[in-house]
Structure 1
């Protein structure tokens, strides 16, 4: 019985020892395997990453200036056009007949002007004759050859001739004004007729055709949409938290969604004065150094990487080391095998995953980069070179 009891106790002790060994080796009481890195002091080349869409700087919406119906369209989507080219025409309906009627009215008014001018010339001749008669009769009066009453009659005839000339000149002025009004009506009608033609305002590319022949449109509604293919740019969005240092003139690399295997050189043209308050993003326009061939699609997504100015040398760590605990940013620093949470102030970062540490760490400090589980100040750690499933 004693031997059996001792054997049972030995087995239990052995199992307990194995249990304790396993728990402290690979169980919940085991040391947490971590990878560490030393804080380096070096300069980094920060960069800013953003998403945008391809847009055209110059877009022209071509359509009628008055309500009318599309007569014909001479171009299709994708056609290259030239400034001054006739792209289509709106149906003038009875506009040509109205122009002919106004031209006939202009001829009638012009004839009335000629008649008024002839009437003025006749009035001038009458007045000159009346003046000559008055002077001759005044001389005869001095010789007592005629009576004063006869001279008064000639003076009255002169006044009548003056009044008639004034009336003729007033009629001529009215005729000239009528002619100017009719000329303006004809010019306006001709301009309206010319507006029935859809003329290309500049060289460009037809990207949309929103109406077909027979469609009735209101004033301002577009028939064709034309862009300048040489004015393509990227309407890019950048996170405001990382947009410090972003300014016009910085170089950029553009990767189009349809051509992800290559990038295109560009630069920041300008920052928009209005930011997006909802997404908390800064808006910027990024232009190509050379327009890609083939042309990117308008509205296509693009990835933009802007190179920010180089910073001076400061302590730098892998951004994967940064943790947020109790609403504080910091890292787990390793001091003689013990963990201590060190709050830090972050600076700029590059696209390789390095971030500047402005305060909280010194060159040479050891910090945890990756860990198997969440850490705390009482955690036991085992430093390894690499964790399974984590790239170095």
Structure 2
């Protein structure tokens, strides 16, 4: 019987040891000592999506807009014909100049005939050299009149070509303030082209002007996701109590120009305790971390702040110098 009791006691100890080993926490992989780190203080402002360059496509002559081939949102290239103007007076001017050229041609034929007869009379001794020179001058005058009229005709034809409205640059059509059939004055804008890419323009309260740094990284909310941007330019002039700044964003949505996006701008520094997210344990809606103490290890409840990559801010529950166990 004694032997049986001894065997039972041994089996009970082995089973209890196995249960304790199963319930024991996993072996500790390491620990970190908390120390304050500097984090940026973010100021939330709104920025507008704007084109780097905005150029109007203007009419070079006056007339009636007979065709318009673009609308808002279309992409165009520099030199592309986006509309055509027609001025009926140009056709009438060309017709009038053609008639003048025919009349001058007839005058030139007559002047050359007179010059030929004068040369014949001079050879016979009937006419004088002075008379021949006068006839030659008259023929030269008619030739010059023909050259001037032809040049004037080329000018009118070039004006007709200028009825084509050209896109001034590559980009997106932002506005088209006119319609087909409208009467257009010289220099009037047919469309506005936004080119050179897009950027965000911010207007930040002037009290933060001294805290802004060119080249600083920003956070931009682009809808469902967020993107990083760079503060590329600070304008020295303050307008309406605000500093104007430009932000370059790689993944900037450009479907809508002048769309407003939320931007978080760093306007200062603060001290915070950061901890790897993997060191946290959540139970019953609370967050715990394991801390090394002189008596061993213990769990502490903590209140969490913002997540920054793989680390998270600890608002309360820990202090600088605490050793936190990490997996």
Match of 1:190 in 2: 157
CA distance in 2, matches of 1:120, 1:266: 82
Distance change (3 Å), C-alpha of 1:266 and 1:44? closer
Task: State whether residues 48 and 242 of structure 1, in contact with CA within 8 Å, keep that contact through their aligned partners in structure 2.
Answer: no
Distance change (3 Å), C-alpha of 1:46 and 1:124? farther
Match of 1:231 in 2: 197
Matches within 5 A, 1:57-68: 57-68=52-63
CA distance in 2, matches of 1:98, 1:119: 31
Task: State whether residues 62 and 87 of structure 2, in contact with CA within 8 Å, keep that contact through their aligned partners in structure 1.
Answer: no
Larger strand proportion, structure 1 or 2? 2
CA distance in 2, matches of 1:117, 1:248: 78
1:297 to 256, 263, 281: 256
Task: State whether residues 76 and 167 of structure 2, in contact with CA within 8 Å, keep that contact through their aligned partners in structure 1.
Answer: yes
Task: State whether residues 73 and 174 of structure 2, in contact with CA within 8 Å, keep that contact through their aligned partners in structure 1.
Answer: yes
The answer to whether structure 1 residue 244 and structure 2 residue 207 are counterparts is: no
SS in 2 for 1:297: coil
1:217 to 184, 193, 196: 184
**What is the Cα deviation at residue 202 of structure 1?**
2.8
SS in 2 for 1:243: helix
SS in 1 for 2:238: coil
CA distance in 1, matches of 2:203, 2:244: 5
2:248 to 287, 294, 297: 287
SS in 2 for 1:192: helix
Q: Deviations over 1:340-362 (max 9, x none)?
A: xxxxxxxxxxxx8xxxxxxxxxx
CA distance in 1, matches of 2:188, 2:172: 19
Range moving further from structure 2, 115-124 or 44-53: 115-124
Task: State whether residues 247 and 270 of structure 1, in contact with CA within 8 Å, keep that contact through their aligned partners in structure 2.
Answer: no
Match of 2:232 in 1: 269
CA distance in 1, matches of 2:252, 2:105: 58
**What is the Cα deviation at residue 214 of structure 1?**
2.0
Q: TM-score, normalised by structure 2?
A: 0.57
Task: State whether residues 56 and 168 of structure 2, in contact with CA within 8 Å, keep that contact through their aligned partners in structure 1.
Answer: no
Show structure 1 runs of 5+ residues with no match: 1-39, 134-153, 319-351, 353-383, 386-392
**What is the Cα deviation at residue 306 of structure 1?**
4.5
The answer to whether structure 1 residue 77 and structure 2 residue 72 are counterparts is: yes
Larger Cα-atom Rg: 1
Distance change (3 Å), C-alpha of 1:44 and 1:126? farther
Task: State whether residues 63 and 223 of structure 1, in contact with CA within 8 Å, keep that contact through their aligned partners in structure 2.
Answer: yes
**What is the Cα deviation at residue 185 of structure 1?**
2.2
Show structure 2 runs of 5+ residues with no match: 1-34, 273-305, 307-315, 318-327
**What is the Cα deviation at residue 107 of structure 1?**
5.2
Distance change (3 Å), C-alpha of 1:69 and 1:161? same
SS in 1 for 2:159: helix
Matches within 5 A, 1:1-392: 43=38, 45=40, 50-106=45-101, 108-109=103-104, 161=129, 164-165=132-133, 167=134, 170-171=137-138, 174-175=141-142, 177-228=144-195, 230-244=196-210, 246=212, 248-256=214-222, 259=223, 261-276=224-239, 279-292=240-253, 295-306=254-265
Task: State whether residues 254 and 264 of structure 1, in contact with CA within 8 Å, keep that contact through their aligned partners in structure 2.
Answer: yes
**What is the Cα deviation at residue 300 of structure 1?**
1.0
